[in-house]
């Protein structure tokens, strides 16, 4: 998508104080609207235009730069799928790196795994973390205070470029590839992530909704394949992110992670002593079965 078009879409999505509807522009011909029952917070930070509002159907809603990021109502789908698919596939992840994820939902789900000894969360904007603690406490459920948690306020790209540590799992919980989030989808960033992964490590990232932005998938698969032996995508249905299923990127040098049996996934899930709301071993296996239109968007 051309940058001029992205700029147009962003300008169309900007919150206007005189309306009770928050308009998220998905393309030039399509938008979704959330009624703002109450604006809880609005601020222009050093990195984002941030707004939090209450909606009767979705609870508290967070938007950055005109794009809906998370809601209380359906956050569990995204967070369970971006975390448990790689974590349970690996089975013994001790060190985890989260890029982004300032709302704390990914951190919460990672810390449910008893194998985890340390989680490093790197977010560029401290205010997102602070505001999420206040307005979205259910997302983190105390995860920021867990002794295994290490918070770093830094640019994610700069962090992985400089890091000398190795991680079993890297989860990139970023905004869309627009503005500040764009650099988290580059060939350079994926190469630095590969260097920071342990030999059996797995990288996952959000890849948007392929029905509305298939070009993101095509670009990312080529960049990931230049660094990783095994690159796949899996999907989940998340109501907030309209336009069909959302895609997650999966990259590793250990292809056997993708062949784990449903029975073994169930055994590993049982150890969590936590009942998921969306994730199941059956969903895990089925999520890698892509609709034909998504296959068509991938390079042959």
User: Predicted confidence band at 66 (pLDDT cuts at 50, 70, 90)?
Assistant: confident
What pLDDT is stored for residue 135 in this prediction?
Answer: 98
What pLDDT is stored for residue 265 in this prediction?
Answer: 97
CB atoms within 10 A of CB 42: 13
Instruction: With CA atoms as reference, report the closest residue to 203 among 252, 165, 247, 236.
Output: 252
User: Is the pLDDT reported for residue 29 higher than 90?
Assistant: no
d(CA 252, CA 225): 10
Cβ neighbours for 72, distance < 8 A, ≥ 6 positions apart? 58, 59, 60, 61, 136, 138, 139
106 three-class SS: helix
User: Do 179 and 124 contact (CB within 8 A), yes or no?
Assistant: no
219 three-class SS: helix
What CA–CA distances, in Å, run from 21 to 13, 185, 266?
11, 31, 43
* Mean per-residue pLDDT, 7-34: 70
What pLDDT is stored for residue 245 in this prediction?
Answer: 95
Residue carrying structure tokens 């079993």? 168
* Segment 55-63 long-range contacts (CB within 8 Å, at least 24 positions apart): 58/34, 58/240, 60/135, 60/136, 61/22, 61/34, 62/103, 62/131, 62/132, 62/135, 62/136, 63/15, 63/22, 63/24
Architecture of the domain delimited by 3-71? Roll (2.30)
User: Is the pLDDT reported for residue 92 higher than 70?
Assistant: yes
User: Predicted confidence band at 62 (pLDDT cuts at 50, 70, 90)?
Assistant: very high
What pLDDT is stored for residue 299 in this prediction?
Answer: 85
Q: Which CATH class is domain 75-297?
A: alpha beta
End-to-end alpha carbon distance in the chain: 21
Give tens-digit pLDDT for 250-264.
999 999 999 999 999
Give tens-digit pLDDT for 95-152.
999 999 999 999 999 999 999 999 999 999 898 899 999 999 999 999 999 999 999 9
User: Predicted confidence band at 37 (pLDDT cuts at 50, 70, 90)?
Assistant: very high
Q: What average pLDDT does the chain have?
A: 90
What pLDDT is stored for residue 179 in this prediction?
Answer: 60
Which positions are catalytic?
173
* Mean per-residue pLDDT, 239-246: 92
Give tens-digit pLDDT for 188-234.
999 999 999 999 999 999 999 999 888 888 889 999 999 999 999 99
Sign of CA dihedral 55, 57, 60, 61: negative
Residue spans of the domains in the chain: they are 3-71, 75-297
* Mean per-residue pLDDT, 181-190: 85
Q: How open is the CA angle 142-204-269, to the nearest 5 degrees?
A: 60
Q: Which of 12-26, 60-74, 75-89 has the lowest average pLDDT? A: 12-26
pTM tops 0.85, yes or no: yes
* Mean per-residue pLDDT, 32-51: 89
CB atoms within 10 A of CB 80: 23
User: Is the pLDDT reported for residue 47 higher than 80?
Assistant: no
């Amino acid at each position: 998508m051309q940058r001029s078009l992205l700029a147009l879409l962003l300008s169309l999505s900007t919150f206007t104080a005189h309306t009770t509807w928050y308009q998220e522009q998905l393309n030039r011909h399509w938008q979704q609207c959330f009624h703002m029952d109450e604006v809880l917070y609005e601020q222009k930070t050093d990195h984002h235009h941030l707004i939090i509002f209450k909606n009767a159907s979705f609870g508290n809603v967070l938007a950055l730069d005109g794009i809906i990021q998370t809601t209380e109502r359906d956050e569990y789908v995204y967070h369970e799928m971006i975390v448990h698919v790689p974590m349970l596939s690996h089975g013994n992840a001790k060190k985890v790196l989260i890029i982004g994820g300032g709302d704390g939902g990914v951190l919460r789900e990672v810390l449910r795994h008893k194998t985890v000894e340390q989680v490093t969360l790197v977010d560029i904007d401290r205010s997102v973390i602070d505001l999420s603690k206040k307005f979205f406490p259910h997302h983190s459920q105390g995860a920021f205070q867990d002794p295994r948690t290490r918070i770093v306020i830094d640019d994610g790209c700069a962090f992985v470029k400089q890091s000398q540590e190795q991680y079993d799992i890297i989860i990139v919980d970023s905004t869309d590839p627009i503005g500040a989030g764009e650099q988290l989808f580059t060939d350079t960033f994926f190469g630095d992530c590969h260097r920071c992964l342990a030999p059996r490590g797995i990288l996952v990232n959000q890849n948007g909704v392929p029905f509305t932005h298939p070009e993101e998938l095509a670009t990312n698969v080529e960049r990931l394949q230049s660094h990783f032996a095994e690159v796949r995508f899996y999907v989940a249905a998340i109501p907030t992110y309209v336009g069909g299923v959302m895609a997650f990127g999966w990259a590793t040098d250990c292809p056997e992670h993708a062949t784990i049996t449903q029975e073994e996934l169930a055994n590993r899930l049982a150890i969590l002593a936590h009942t998921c709301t969306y994730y199941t071993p059956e969903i895990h296996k089925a999520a890698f079965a892509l609709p034909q239109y998504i296959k068509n968007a991938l390079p042959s």
